[in-house]
Structure 1
Amino acid sequence: MGSSLLRVAYAFWVLATPHLFSPSAAEAQERTRIDFDAVPTIHFPAGSRVVSAYPAFEDYAHMLFDLCDALKLSSKECSIFPMNAKLGGNALATLVDGNRIIVYDRELSGQVGYDGAEMIIAHELGHHRCGHLGKAADTTHELQADAFAGAAARLRGKTLKDALSAVPLFSKRPGRTHPSSAARVAAITAGWNNPEAGRACRLPD
């Protein structure tokens, strides 16, 4: 991919902690140069530290590809690079010189299990598919990504309980960019109940 410029668009569904990437961090990321020919990882600032993301372990890569198959996405539509990194219990969707990336913190799996991990990746895939990257963070975008993840779970043959596996991570209180846990559960459930609408990033009226 050559020398690249990293731009982070969306972080996942963190607990009651502040969002991983503040506006000031995002500005710093806009100036971060990455030489993929020199290192096998991508590096970017997150607050006061530098995060290194590396190609995802095989099971996480398979989760992404299984989701793409269930959603009937073409190889071009699913040309997304799965990565792992220590993000303080988070996940995010990014763009690197136009290349779409999902970064997942493996520590999350110990809290939510396999199904929860797959739902988190489905949520980040939703940010890519719903066209949220490059736009200001918005609670509606989070709900659309949740509905998309619920639809992905249904199309994967998962139960609604499976689709809600990551709910324990949700903050009960709404924030500037992330809705309340109750609103997110409703969006995931709506996507699971109506996967055609969820896959199209549509929320119930």
Structure 2
Amino acid sequence: MSVFSGMSRPMKAAGVALIGVAIIAAVIGGITALGGGNGSNEAGPSGTSTQPGTSGSTPPSTSSSSSATPPSTSSSASSPVPPSPSSPPAGQPTSAVPGQPGQPGQPGQPGGDQQASNKWVTVRVFNNSTIKGLADRAAEDFRGSGWNVNEVGNYSQGVIPTTTAFYRPGTDEEAAAKQLAQEFGIKAEPRFEGIQSASPGVIVIVTKEYQGAHKGS
């Protein structure tokens, strides 16, 4: 017997419509329930991933951070260690370091122009002849060559055989007197007794044979 027996035709039509609506609602409800379950599963990781540091972090974010650590560690471990800046380059001799004591060419040490370095020594010129102005002429010759002449006068305490540059042995005067003698063709000798106590410096006593411009080799 049909559920619609005894009903009028309009009521039968309304009942069929209600049943259809109920069936459609049930289908939609089932789809919505299935769709809602999938949506909640997808929203979970997305929501927790935006809150770093919480205890509810999901396994995907943990594995992602742990997988990024090993490359960084291996990279720093495999990076080459730079050489120490204090170590000299291979093959470079330590004696070539500029400023090291005892190295040639340093300021304050005798250079190649040893002759020029002797000309700072004081030179005094004395005339031991009857030629007037001979000591002045010799002094001008010496100054013209760069010598430090600071006194000119006469020597009348005896007769000197030949023009001579006298020095005190073991002092800077010795090298200077010998250089001056070689340059102007005169003699160089240690001081004699009569001038031992004279002021420091090379003492040149000029005699009549002094040629001046005719310098010795």
Same fold (TM over 0.5): no
Range into which the TM-score falls when normalised by the shorter chain: under 0.3
Quick one: higher RCO (CA 8 Å, sep 6+), 1 or 2? 1
**Highest Rg: 1 or 2?**
2
Structure with greater strand percent:
1
Report the TM-score, using the length of structure 2 for normalisation: 0.19
